[in-house]
Amino acid sequence: MSVGLLPQISDIEAAEGRLAGYARVTPLLESPRLNALADARLLIKPECLQRTGSFKFRGAFNKIAQIPEERRARGVVAFSSGNHAQGVGAAAEIIGLPATIVMPSDAPAIKIENTKNYGAKIVFYDRADGNRVAVAEDILAQTDGTLIPPYNDFDVIAGQGTIGLELAREAEALEASFDIVLGPSSGGGMMAGVALAFASWSPDTSLYSVEPNQYDDIAQSLATGDRVIIEVGMPSLCDALLLETPGKLTFEIMKSRLAGGVSVSDEEALAAVRVAFDELKIVLEPSGATALAAVLQRKIDVRGKIVGIICSGGNVDPDIFVRALQS
């Protein structure tokens, strides 16, 4: 770990070394029809093809792999709406330590089932009036385990930053350079990591966060320059992106490195799920399709640009996927 409060490119490169042989290097996908629709070159990073079906495995594994041997038997604890839960569960199973995950009772069934299949113990809480952090702290007090935060953590951010390294290298292999990169955002761990990678590899690239309507705390925070706390409670199909404020550490990174943030509706996200399936033959969850939705709905001007689009996850319940195909 480098000395300092924020991860450096060396920390992301070290994370890449730990992930080698465990995380997949996801490819860049391209569709002539999508390029024509957007009047741009769209290079799509399908993290739905990542181990556990989302990018979250990267950060979770990087964090858990660094737990000292003498602490591993005490296990790990995490709180998550589903994708981080699966990432932690899978990483803990690989490394060989117990995992307890605090999940909302209304999490998608597929995410609950997958987390169980990785051998993790699940403790449920009520998203409406429960406090997942307090529940996790109670468990930690009993187990003296290690907390694996979903986003606001040095090692988790460094792990997610490996997406940025891959994007930059893959574009270079195509003799391309990104003008714009967009990614789905919640607490900001992924886009903070990507921003750190691009600060070294491609500092002129404009980076954008994409969130659900009613949950655009990062966009509002970037616009004001300070972390904004929004009122939450509105339902959304983008279950992985429902937070009231960005992380303190992630926002410290993003506020000077992101060009801005945009948001999309559930229906726009569903339409992007269908487009991704029709044109790219990949399965996305609504949360994972928000960046693609932002481009398709012209939330920012990408005409004539080379655009990187991170599709962050594909853990979608069948009924929601069918609804998307019918949209």
> What's the 3-state SS for 6-75?
CCCHHHHHHHHHHHCCCCCCCCCECCHHHHHHHCCEEEEEEHHHCHHHECHHHHHHHHHCCCCHHHHHHC
pLDDT number for residue 1: 54
| Buried/exposed 179-204: b ≥16 CB within 10 Å, e otherwise | bbbbbbbbbbbbbbbbbbbbbbbbee
292's tokens? 């693609």
Architecture of domain 9-55+155-325: 3-Layer(aba) Sandwich (3.40)
Q: In the CATH hierarchy, which fold is given to the domain comprising 57-152?
A: Rossmann fold (3.40.50)
Query: SS3 of 127, please?
Result: coil
- Looking at the chain, the whole-number percentage of residues with pLDDT higher than 70 is 99
Residue-range domain boundaries for the chain: 9-55+155-325, 57-152
Q: What is the pLDDT of residue 4?
A: 59
CA angle, residues 181, 270, 197, in degrees to nearest 5 = 20
For residue range 200-236, list pLDDT tens digits in order: 999 999 999 999 999 999 999 999 999 999 988 789 9
Which pair of structure tokens corresponds to residue 127?
Answer: 């998203």
Average pLDDT, the chain: 96
> Residues 6 or more apart from 115 whose CB is under 8 A from it?
82, 85, 86, 89, 101, 103, 122
**How many CB atoms sit inside 10 A of residue 220's CB?**
18
Look up residue 256 and give its DSSP letter. Answer: T
Which residues are bridge partners to 182 per DSSP?
A: 208, 309
* DSSP per position, 281-294: -----TGGGHHHHH
Predicted TM-score (pTM) of this structure: 0.95
Residue 128: pLDDT band with limits 50, 70, 90: confident
Helix and strand element counts for the chain (H, E): 14, 9
- pLDDT value of position 3: 47
- Give the pLDDT score at 232: 81
What residue type is assigned to position 26 of the chain?
T
- Which residues, 6+ apart, have CB-to-CB distance to 126 below 8 Å? 104, 105
